A and B are shown apart, each in its own frame.
Chain A
Amino acid sequence: MASQNEIVVRFAGEGGQGVVTAAEMLARAATGVGFHALTFATFPSQILGGPTWTQARVAKETVLSPGDSVDILVAFNDEAYQEHRTDVRDGGVILLDPSVNPDNGDQSHRCIHVPFDDLAKETGESRAANMVVMGGLSKLINMPLEYFKDFVSERFAGRDSIIEANHKALDLGLNQLKDEQAISDLGAPIPPDYKQIFIKGNEALSIGAVHAGIEFYFGYPISPATPILVFMEKNLLGEGKFAYQASSEIEAITGIVGAGFSGKKSMTATSGPGFTLMGEGIGLAWMAEIPCVVVDVQRGGPATGLPTKTEQSDLLTAISPAHGDAKIPVIAAGTVEECFYAAVHAFNWAETYQGPVIILSEHSLAERAQNIRVPELSETPVQNRITYQGNNGYLRYESKEISPFPIPGNPGSYVANGSEHDIYGDTTHLAKYHIHMTERRFGKLALLENAPFESDNPASKIALMPWGGSKGSVLEAYNILRNQNVDIAWYYTMFINPLAPDLLKALKEKDLVIVPELNYQGQFASLLRSQGINAEAITQYTGLPFKSSFLVERINELVGKYKKDMVVG
């Protein structure tokens, strides 16, 4: 029996068959006993039905990506089997609904029929098909059934009949596969010695906002950002707090700008289509110097695009969402953990430079559930607004420095203005004020330039620099390349705009900077090139995340080509 450190299980079927919760359940149960796990989910934009699949990767060490090759496929229908069987590695197992006839020619996989639904019905709980699957999996991956039973007991504590039915389902599933050989043996987990949480990207981001001191949330439902709205409406409670559903993204952005003017830490979250609508409002926040945070959980675009697929194609829009001379600070989260910190930093940045800050997340990150180290709140400082404490007659825009912020209801009344304004905030067309205010607005960005970045093997002249949610897959590829003795450096930051001057300096010294990103144009690479860096993108636009094996191949090609060119040159 092969012993391995990890296992990848994919669940495929139709929405409503329990596919969505299956990967999460496996990952939860596994992390509960000390394994590491990460999930991936993709589903159609409809309430019921449609091809859906999820994946869980369970390992003894930290998991960086959803995994390239599938060890076990659970196919709930024929379409799922046909679509996904080629992703299953040789020697892998496919669990099939009895209605599905495996191809006679499928010699490279072990196909096993499991009557999920019939066995579930036997338990008296027809929704327990998932647990039948888990029972079978426990045999295949040699994970004690008790892990799952304990998980069920905890999850449904106090609801004994449900626990009983699900325990029975687990037994039935295991019994069904009792004569099958395990596919691998993860062995005993090595539980981390720190406190962990199991959480999705959108949830981590929302809690980050709460830690940062969010007081006002206003948002319009849109995939894949809706869970942030739902979270806020449920949790952003208490005196002086406001969380509410807007009637449009235009309403949402102008609402949070109004709240920011009133002195509150405010945020909205959306995806591409809504973000486009917010452009003018973001420009208003820049112009009137109002702190606020806008989250763009990217999906495929343009227009309605691919609502439930992942892409990193809003970067250029995020930096320039508005017309005119404006450059909006952008923080792009790369992992579930970074979703939490990105939210805290975004609020801190907004207060520091008094303007709008964009957080980029993306579908695969938003829906990814993972075990992470619980953020250390006491070590995550929060920046609050510097408020004006003087008398009336304040000229808020007089200097070119950041100026204390007057709070309505207190002395210091002024006019915040989306039109170009003078030192009173009154509308003007005088060149001297447009020059003064433009320089004032851009000058403040310098306050954000001390952001940290990661680097590894910096001596190499060729660097790898991903951004956003591709971080995990690219880091995995980087580790493989380094093990292959490929001489390449690693750079990464979630502070995309403005980039830290030290990072820019280091990248400018490289002969080549390779940027894997999920869009057609190579947006980040083009941005780096515009700043004098020789960047080349590895692009993918499938709606799915990178596979690290694909990246290893492409990076090796680029490195090889570059070295050849150097010799010829």
Chain B
Amino acid sequence: MSGKNPEYDFLWCPGCGDFGVRRAMEFAMQDWNIERETPMTHNVVVAGIGCSGNTVHLLEGEQPYGFHGIHGRSLPLALGVKMAREELNVVVVAGDGDFLSIGMEHIGPQAARNLNICAVVMDNGIYGLTKGQSSPTTLENTVTSSTPFGKMESPVHPLDLYLTLGVSYIASGYSSKPRDLAKLITKGMMHDGFSIVHVSSPCTTYNDTYEILKGSRAKGTEGTAYDIPENHDPTDKDAARDLIARGGVPLGVVYENTTRPSLGQRLAKVRENNQAKDAAALLNSFSI
């Protein structure tokens, strides 16, 4: 059951990180609406397939438009939505399986085009909805239902990958801090180019990493999540690379390049300098 739909019966497990991401999404879209003076219907949430994608049905309050598509294809779907109506705020919500396994081929082209959309990736390091198979971010040697002898692959390092592919805004967040996360998402929405906010969003059923992220006072362990130092310069690509190489889960803006034109900006130039012909003129150009 959701706020708007009494018959909707999808449930996230208690404690699921995606609750926090949903809240952050709601904050971010509200902030965007205030900033741009637009109604909620100027927002389109394009969802991948997996637990994370159900965010689109569970948003509370005023409803944005949504498109819950097919597995792995949220980015090209978002491209279509955005380039058809550039005034819209187009946000992708997808998980590590959807975005980094079946959908990985779509990250590079959007980065190269600098497509002006924001992708919020909820990384729980597992396929939750299909009940616990290994995902690209599952750690090596982890036993899951699809890796009974331990995962035999190195995990993908998402931030490293985004930086290498040329994503022009890369932020890293944590689902338990929705207010902080919302700021990173809002900034991504405002960024005129391709932005990814990668969120550690634990799966309490199949891969509960809360303790790893936060640390445990009782056990005397330190959390892997840490605030990015204030002296980090996100416009410095080398600094971003160094930060990522430190490991752990940095929280904040990792990298930001505002100097590259977006695809929309480039096309605006083309439109300025080239005139369209109508069908009659085109037919005429083939006259005998």
Contact = CB atoms under 8 A, between A and B. Distances in A.
Contacts of B64: 413
B44 interface: yes
A247 B10 contact: no
B69 A254 contact: yes
Contacts of A199: 286
A126 interface: no
**Range of interface residues on chain A?**
35 or more
* From A239, A240, A392, A413, residue with most partner B Cβ within 10 Å: A413
A255 to B, nearest CB: 4
Contacts of A255: 76-77, 79-80, 83
Contacts of A404: none
A406 B85 CA distance: 14
A398 interface: no
Nearest to A382: B279
Given A31-B288, A215-B84, A413-B65, A424 B76 contact: no
A267 to B, nearest CB: 12
A176 interface: no
Contacts of B82: 258
B287 interface: yes
A196 B286 CA distance: 8
B275 interface: yes
B85 A263 contact: yes
A198 interface: yes
A427 B10 contact: yes
Nearest to A415: B66
Interface in A214-257: 215-216, 218, 235-242, 244, 246-248, 250-252, 254-257
A258 B287 contact: no
A414 B68 CA distance: 11
Nearest to A241: B276
Contacts of B56: 415
Contact of B76 (A237, A258, A392, A418): A258
A148 interface: no
Contact of B68 (A262, A392, A427): A427
Nearest to B273: A237
B283 interface: yes
Say whether chain B's binding surface is mostly helix, strand, loop, or mixed: mixed
A426 B83 contact: no
A324 to B, nearest CB: 12
Contacts of A258: 46, 67, 76-82, 84
Nearest to A264: B84
B218 interface: no
Contacts of B46: 258
A425 B66 contact: yes
A91 B57 CA distance: 76
Contact of A377 (B9, B105, B279): B279
A408 B70 contact: no
Contacts of B54: 427
Contacts of A374: 283, 287
Contact of A408 (B5, B85, B286): B85
A262 B85 contact: yes
B278 interface: yes
A71 to B, nearest CB: 23
B271 interface: yes
B87 A409 contact: yes
B5 A424 contact: yes
Interface string A191-203: 0000111110001
Contacts of A17: none
A211 interface: yes
A258 to B, nearest CB: 2
Interface residues of B, number: 58
Contacts of A196: 287-288
Interface in A325-371: 371
A197 B285 CA distance: 8
A248 B105 contact: yes
A419 interface: yes
B73 A254 contact: yes
B288 A210 contact: no
B40 interface: yes
A472 interface: no
Given A258-B77, A424-B4, A427-B57, A251 B106 contact: yes
Nearest to A211: B279
B77 A257 contact: yes
Interface in A248-291: 248, 250-252, 254-264, 266, 280-281, 283-284, 288
B154 interface: no
A380 to B, nearest CB: 9
Given A197-B283, A263-B85, A392-B63, A237 B70 contact: no
Contacts of B62: 392
A70 interface: no
Interface in A397-421: 406-419
A414 B66 contact: yes
B211 to A, nearest CB: 32
B84 A216 contact: yes
A377 B63 CA distance: 42
B239 interface: no
A568 interface: no
Contacts of A250: 73, 76, 105
Given A247-B106, A409-B42, A261 B73 contact: no
Nearest to B282: A207
Contact of A281 (B5, B67, B73): B73
Interface string B266-281: 0100110011111110
Contact of B280 (A203, A377, A407, A410): A377
B88 A409 contact: yes
Contact of A430 (B7, B44, B88, B277): B7
Nearest to B62: A392
Contacts of A235: 276-277, 282
Nearest to B109: A247
Contacts of B87: 409
Contact of A418 (B69, B108, B277, B282): B69
B164 interface: no
Given A237-B276, A288-B67, A427-B68, A247 B105 contact: yes
B2 interface: yes
A408 B44 contact: yes
B41 interface: yes
A428 interface: yes
Contacts of A424: 4-5, 8
Given A216-B84, A246-B76, A409-B87, 5 more contacts: A197-B283, A199-B286, A211-B279, A247-B108, A413-B65
